Amino acid sequence: MHELSYPWSDHVPQGVSREVAPGVRWVTMPMGGSLTHINLYLLEDFDGWYVVDTGLNNKETLDLWHDVFRTELGGKPVKGVICTHMHPDHIGLAKAITDEYRCPLYMTRAEYYQARSFSGSAGSHHHSAWLGQQFYTRAGMPLEYLQKLAEMWSKRSSDGMTMGEMPSGYQRLEDGDILSIGGRDWRIAVGEGHSPEHACLYCHELKVMCSGDQILPVITSNVSVHPTEPDANPLKVWMESHDKFLRTPDDTLILPAHNRPFHGVRARLRQLIDHHDDRMLAIEEACVEPQIARDLLPVLFSRQLDPRQTMMALGEAIAHLHLLMYRNRIERTLHADGQYRFRSIDPSLARRRHPHAGPSEVPEVV
């Protein structure tokens, strides 16, 4: 199996860009937390540029964009903003940039409408509703945790991590659509699991893919069940998307939203598939004795988790449990204390057990 290789040893300094393929430029913008930055890309057309993802909705990022627009675009305007998915680091400035240039926003339908439903004041209190309480109670979390979550959400609105306002219209992207940019075809490839209908952009001629958060090197994208859809099975479609993206030619340069551009897409996808299979097996092993979701966090994550990381980790643990339930390997029962207990029921588990079942990395907010 090929290893991953990184053609550039450093990130682009903020406020400038770097050509990574003909007509494709790489830009970075700041982010809080352990991720430190997001990668954004510029695609050159004959009469302007497409911006792929926008960075967070704050003044620092907007000022940096203005530096880029002034010095890096060769005097041509932005003619479209393409957002891979609806997370705040990707769509934060979609409205500001499309308003400034009066250009369209391109997104898939599920991402656009989910972003609109979470944008502004509509999205900030959903975790304190009874659905959220029931969700976290069933996962074994105490009421004090819900209070901590509410504090966290109010703080997030001040650091740019909540949804800003969205443009009131968009142009829809669908799987298989072709965007002709600079005389080259860019095909939309949709993946699911990290977000509902995540768009990647693939150019066969250049052997380049803008992969957003769908394919990342180094860190694993968050795949979570949320109170808004408590019985969702996002890991199932995440794994299916990995199988689909395994068809990507191995000499493709992957331009991810975090970490650095890399070669070795198939090796990376196989690592990620193995990672989740491994974690599911560890959960099955833990659930030989019935477990609540909260008590499975140490099986998945070794480090101490703050309230936000706990939320991501719980969502991930539940996502793994739901796929195991779908595969008839785990059974779930609701107990009188309001908590779900999960129990392994697959007789082949004893045969499948493996020795290397250590916990892995802290969940990242991407």
Between 213 and 316, CB nearer to Zn ion: 213
Q: Which of residues 207-236 bind Zn ion (CB under 5 A)?
A: 213
Question: How many H helices and E strands in the chain?
Answer: 11, 14
Count the alpha carbons within 13 Å of 191 in the hemisphere toward its beta carbon: 29
Between 35 and 73, CB nearer to Zn ion: 35
The tokens of 333 are what?
């029962």
Between 259 and 339, CB nearer to Zn ion: 259
The tokens of 142 are what?
């105490």
Cα distance between residue 234 and residue 225, in whole Å: 7
Site track for Zn ion across 43-82, x = CB under 5 A: ----------------------------------------
The tokens of 339 are what?
């908590």
Which H or E element spans position 88?
Answer: helix 88-91
Q: Which of 87, 95, 320, 322 binds Zn ion (CB under 5 A)?
A: 87
In the complex, minimum distance from the CB of residue 211 to Zn ion, in angstroms, rounded to a whole number: 11
Between 188 and 366, CB nearer to Zn ion: 366
Among 18-26, 164-172, 205-213, 334-342, the segment contacting Zn ion (CB under 5 A): 205-213
The tokens of 177 are what?
């659509």
Site track for Zn ion across 151-180, x = CB under 5 A: ------------------------------
Label the pairing between strands 48-52 and 198-203: unpaired
Between 87 and 294, CB nearer to Zn ion: 87
In the complex, minimum distance from the CB of residue 90 to Zn ion, in angstroms, rounded to a whole number: 6
Distances (CA, A) of 72 to 14, 51, 252: 12, 12, 25
Give the gyration radius of the chain's Cα atoms: 21
In the complex, minimum distance from the CB of residue 366 to Zn ion, in angstroms, rounded to a whole number: 4
In the complex, minimum distance from the CB of residue 213 to Zn ion, in angstroms, rounded to a whole number: 4
Between 260 and 341, CB nearer to Zn ion: 260
Determine the straight-line distance between the first and last CA of the chain, rounded to whole angstroms. 27
The residue written with tokens 């250590």 in the block is 358
Total binding residues for Zn ion by CB under 5 A?
A: 3
In the complex, minimum distance from the CB of residue 350 to Zn ion, in angstroms, rounded to a whole number: 38
Among candidate residues 297, 287, 298, 294, the one with its CA nearest the CA of residue 330: 287
38 makes contact with Zn ion (CB under 5 A): no
In the complex, minimum distance from the CB of residue 227 to Zn ion, in angstroms, rounded to a whole number: 18
In the complex, minimum distance from the CB of residue 214 to Zn ion, in angstroms, rounded to a whole number: 9
Among candidate residues 159, 139, 143, the one with its CA nearest the CA of residue 225: 139
Q: Which of 201, 299, 365, 366 binds Zn ion (CB under 5 A)?
A: 366
192 dihedral zone (left: phi>0; alpha: psi -120 to 50; beta): beta
- Residue 25 sits at the vertex; the CA angle it makes with 24 and 28, to the nearest 5 degrees, is 145
In the complex, minimum distance from the CB of residue 20 to Zn ion, in angstroms, rounded to a whole number: 21
Task: Map residue 24 onto helix, strand or coil.
Answer: strand
Among candidate residues 262, 219, 291, the one with its CA nearest the CA of residue 33: 219
Between 173 and 366, CB nearer to Zn ion: 366
313 makes contact with Zn ion (CB under 5 A): no
Longest Cα–Cα distance of the chain, Å, equals 66
Between 299 and 366, CB nearer to Zn ion: 366
105 touches 171 (CB < 8 A)? yes
316 makes contact with Zn ion (CB under 5 A): no
198 makes contact with Zn ion (CB under 5 A): no
Between 161 and 323, CB nearer to Zn ion: 161
Among 55-63, 84-92, 202-210, 316-324, the segment contacting Zn ion (CB under 5 A): 84-92
Between 62 and 223, CB nearer to Zn ion: 223
In the complex, minimum distance from the CB of residue 76 to Zn ion, in angstroms, rounded to a whole number: 29
The residue written with tokens 């509509």 in the block is 122
Query: Which residues here bind Zn ion, judged by CB under 5 A?
Result: 87, 213, 366
